[in-house]
Amino acid sequence: MIALNVNGVSHQLDADPEMPLLWALRDLLQLTGTKYGCGMALCGSCTVHMDGVPVRACVTPLSAAQGTQITTIEGLSSGADHAVQQAWLELDVVQCGYCQSGQLMSAAALIARVADPSDAEIDAAMNGNICRCGTYPRIRAAVKRAAQIRREGGAS
Amino acid sequence: MSAPQAGGPGSAESADVNAGRRHFLIGLGVVAAGTGIGIRVMPGLLASGRPAAAPFDFKPHAFVRISSDDSITVIIGKSEMGQGVYTGLPMVLAEELDVNPQRISVEFAPVDPAFNHTHMPGQFTGASSSTQTTFEPLRRVGATARAMLLAAAAKRWGVGVDALETADGGVLRRGGLQRASYGALAEAAAAVPMPQDVPLRERAAFRYIGKPQKRLDGRAKVTGAAKFGSDVQLPDMLVATVARAPVFGATVQRFDDRAARAVPGVVDVRQVPSGVAVYARHTWAALKGREALRVDWNPAPGGSLSTDAMRAEWRALAERRGVVTIQHGDVDRAFAAAAKQATVEYELPYLAHACMEPLNAVAHVTPGRCELWVGTQNQSQDAQFVAKALGLAPADVTLHTTFLGGGFGRRASTTSDFSVEAAHVANGMGRPVRTLWTREDDMRGGYYRPMAVNRVHIAVDAQGKALALEHTVVGKPLMKNSPFAAFAFRNGIDPSSIEGLGDTVYAVPNLRQSAHYTDEPVPILWWRSVGHSINAFIENAAVDEMAALAGRDPLEFRRELLAGRPRHLAVLEKAAAAAGWGAPLPPGRFHGIALHESFRSIVAEVVELSVDGDGAVSVHRVTCAVDCGFAVNPDQVVAQMQSAIVFGLSAALYGEITLEAGRPVQGNFDGYRVLRISEAPAIDVHIVESDGPLGGVGEPGLPPVAPAVCGAIFAATGKRVRRLPVRVGLASA
């Protein structure tokens, strides 16, 4: 059995320790906000937080996730009120939306670490997240806006 | 907000649509609102109204449901794949209904002729046509519903309609005497005879249309709640992966599934028409099982294909004229009289759509029925083809549309490949099965933007004016074997090979195109902007080459070629002025410009880039001007320009699918590189208002990008990139 803590809830999973966290989240826990895009840590659609650090769930085996605190998009906030979600809504970032859970999780980890990220810091933190709809200009602006919201104490 | 699920409103509607609509509609209101009574304005009933002046048949295809709990739901027959119809279509209806669009709930429509595209056979989302074809009909639906609500209130209060007005979801009696919400009037309104010819608002009176409206799917998409096809969860569902032919058209010779069946979680392995399916309780087992599967394939004619060999063969073909597809002026005489001329060759690669959500569909086949959950742009045909594949009647297939994790044309499959395959995979299983494509399955699965070799002969006269352009194209015709062939492939001419060039807005007096249509077993498909993605490049690159032959500035030369076209000139000038064309740029930065009209919209783009010593190109800024006639949701027009520019830059700089020994080489985002945020330029979008017809916005931003990039590279290096992607073409320039 694998003991997994996701969004503050403990689970016991009867699963292959080599199973990527992505498929456990989606298929075993029905947390489908985390997306499959490449399976090789190339696109970032599956980004979740493991003890607060962004990881690609598609290449993170359950054996590595065991004993950590996993946060998915469903656990980022209770009412779409995390600073990154607020900023994303304010600037109407999303298009098809498929990559956005991963984008938001990468952005949330960045602004938790860097109060006022520069363009270079945004590039470094967000370059692993591909968007085919081309929302990059808005993501860049929204990350800055989210950091500002956070600095002003408006949200988590 | 969520996609229709099993037993949800979607299935209830489609089951009932065939049985007495008006009665049903009221009944549905009861179902949807619990204890409430709903009214719905039915497109079919409105169809008897005055035909719209639009060039398409008047076949409104929107439903609105107003329930006694004051919820207002718009059911959209278009697929939301990022382009914003989930917001734009409801806001058009809301304008006339007089309700804040943010109050509206949206549902994806069931498959029903009422939602058919106005000028295509069936329910279909594409060709940047959703807003242009539904704008008038949706306004009529909203206006008619409002008129019925007003009539109901007038009757209830015993006053004339002229004593009443509406305001944000309610009817008011002037003077503040009485107010009733739309929900409170819903039941009474359902009994009002449907009025004809309800007047629409004047454009100047619009409160929502023409002003930025926040996306109605925003919240669902920042919380992970939005349901895509791959998110559909059903009781007892299996996940299947399919081992497909490594070479297009190859068939299974034999397979050994012993190791696959031994993988924990794998429950079955079966041959299906497209290969061998591995069924499992979850995705991981389905993937491991397929890895353990051994399949031997029969040889196929495509097994020897290589893009290098094709290119050599096609270049030889391009040296002689093919079937003449476009002919204006006297091309031969023009070349004979030319002051300067040149012959060049442009090569454009196969491109994958590479939607972020790999292809997938869930099917549940039971005796005499099939239920499908799929993100598709092509509902009617998918349902028909699935019915045919399973030997069912179309009415026995229920298709639920989900959000699409990107479309770009791939989810408008001419063969309905991913839906039909999912039906075959689920057939005989007696339980729902998700067929999930991996990224590699998706990228190596064909249905590419066609590869094209183009020989271009250009000439200018002694005054330095554009004189002649002859274009010989070699490639596979897109429409020939498509479901649209009957009306789109006429006289042996493929419309996608001529679109954007045969009707070029540049005044090139002598123009000829001829085509050599090839027929490789590589499936091809429309890819964002279709033929324009090729022809805008040819058109603008040829114009740049002519300008250079004549020793003239690319902007000034275009001005001359667009003389007499005020809308096009306005767009060109806006982009040039906003970008500062001709003014000094930071050291090492250079400009290129292109303009193209597609899907009734005109877009000009100025690209600012630099090229380093190793030939690496950095695009710093793209300035875009767009005239789409009228911007219904201006911020989403901006978003679609940004989107198409980034998508087009990925293709121009990096995109290429190559074949070796019949096998697509690139399988994931390592080999098929796309733009990342660090490479994304600043993008300035300027909307140029005009009195032109409503144009599309999903695709028209794409065609100018690649030629503008190549124009800027020429300015920077003196080298013409004549083979895309730039990554390949600049090295050989």
Report pLDDT digits (tens) over B297-317: 999 999 999 999 999 999 999
DSSP3 helix / strand / coil % (chain A, rounded to 5): 40, 15, 45
Count other Cβ atoms within 10 Å, centred on residue B61.
26
The three-state secondary structure class of B601 is: strand
Using 50, 70 and 90 to split pLDDT, how confident is the model at B176?
A: confident
Q: Which tens digits make up the pLDDT trace of B598-650?
A: 999 999 999 999 999 999 999 999 999 999 999 999 999 999 999 999 999 99
Using alpha carbons only, how large is chain B's radius of gyration in Å? 27
Nearest to B678 among A28, A37, A123 (CB): A123
Residue B382: what residue type?
D
Residue B248 in this model has a pLDDT that exceeds 70: yes
Q: What distance in Å separates residue B624's CA from the closest CA in chain A? A: 14
Contact call for residues B403 and B3 (beta carbons, < 8 A): yes
List the single best residue of B373, B438, B677 to mutate versus A (max A Cβ within 10 A). B677
Distance CA(B709)–CA(B697), nearest Å, equals 21
Residue B685: what residue type?
V
Note the maximum CA span of chain A: 44
The reply to whether residue A35 touches residue B670, judged by beta carbons under 8 angstroms, is no
Q: What distance in Å separates residue B647's CA from the closest CA in chain A? A: 6
B644 and chain A: CB distance < 8 Å anywhere? yes
The mean pLDDT value for B484-499 works out to 83
The reply to whether residue A92 touches residue B82, judged by beta carbons under 8 angstroms, is no
Q: Which of B599, B601, B583 is nearest to B591 (CA)?
A: B583
What does the pLDDT read at residue B118?
A: 83
What does the pLDDT read at residue B194?
A: 87
Contact call for residues B464 and B335 (beta carbons, < 8 A): no
Residue B8 in this model has a pLDDT that exceeds 70: no
Residue B57 in this model has a pLDDT that exceeds 80: no
Note the maximum CA span of chain B: 83
Contact call for residues A96 and B82 (beta carbons, < 8 A): yes
The three-state secondary structure class of B192 is: coil
Using 50, 70 and 90 to split pLDDT, how confident is the model at A155?
A: low
DSSP string, B669-697: TTTS----GGGPPEEEEEE---SSPP---
Q: Which tens digits make up the pLDDT trace of B384-412?
A: 999 999 999 999 999 999 999 999 999 99
User: ipTM of the predicted structure?
Assistant: 0.98
Percent of chain B with pLDDT over 70: 92
What does the pLDDT read at residue B491?
A: 80
Taking the complete model, does pTM exceed 0.90, yes or no? yes
B228 and chain A: CB distance < 8 Å anywhere? yes
Nearest to B647 among A40, A128, A132 (CB): A132
CA A45 to chain CA mean position, Å: 8
The reply to whether residue B282 touches residue A123, judged by beta carbons under 8 angstroms, is no
What does the pLDDT read at residue B488?
A: 76
Contacts of B265 (CB under 8 A, 6+ apart): A16, B280, B281, B282, B284, B285, B286, B288, B289
Count other Cβ atoms within 10 Å, centred on residue B462.
11
Cα distances (Å, whole numbers) of residue A106 to A100, A115, B301, B368, B699: 10, 14, 46, 47, 29
Helix axis angle, A83-90 to A136-151, nearest 10°: 130
- B682-687/B617-627 β-pairing: parallel
Contact call for residues B216 and B104 (beta carbons, < 8 A): yes
The reply to whether residue B356 touches residue A130, judged by beta carbons under 8 angstroms, is yes
Q: Which tens digits make up the pLDDT trace of B21-49?
A: 222 232 222 222 222 233 444 433 333 23
Residue B114 in this model has a pLDDT that exceeds 50: yes
What does the pLDDT read at residue B490?
A: 77
CA B142 to chain CA mean position, Å: 26
The mean pLDDT value for B653-658 works out to 98
Per the model's pLDDT, the better-predicted residue between A154 and A36 turns out to be A36
The mean pLDDT value for A119-126 works out to 98
Using 50, 70 and 90 to split pLDDT, how confident is the model at B19?
A: very low
Percent of chain B with pLDDT over 90: 83
Residue B123 in this model has a pLDDT that exceeds 70: yes
Distance CA(B168)–CA(B207), nearest Å, equals 11
Q: For residue A39, list chain B residues with Cβ-Cβ distance below 8 A.
A: 438-439, 668
Q: What distance in Å separates residue B668's CA from the closest CA in chain A? A: 7
Helix axis angle, B634-653 to B705-717, nearest 10°: 50
Q: Which tens digits make up the pLDDT trace of B663-711?
A: 999 999 999 999 999 999 999 999 999 999 999 999 999 999 999 999 9
List the single best residue of B221, B623, B643, B673 to mutate versus A (max A Cβ within 10 A). B221
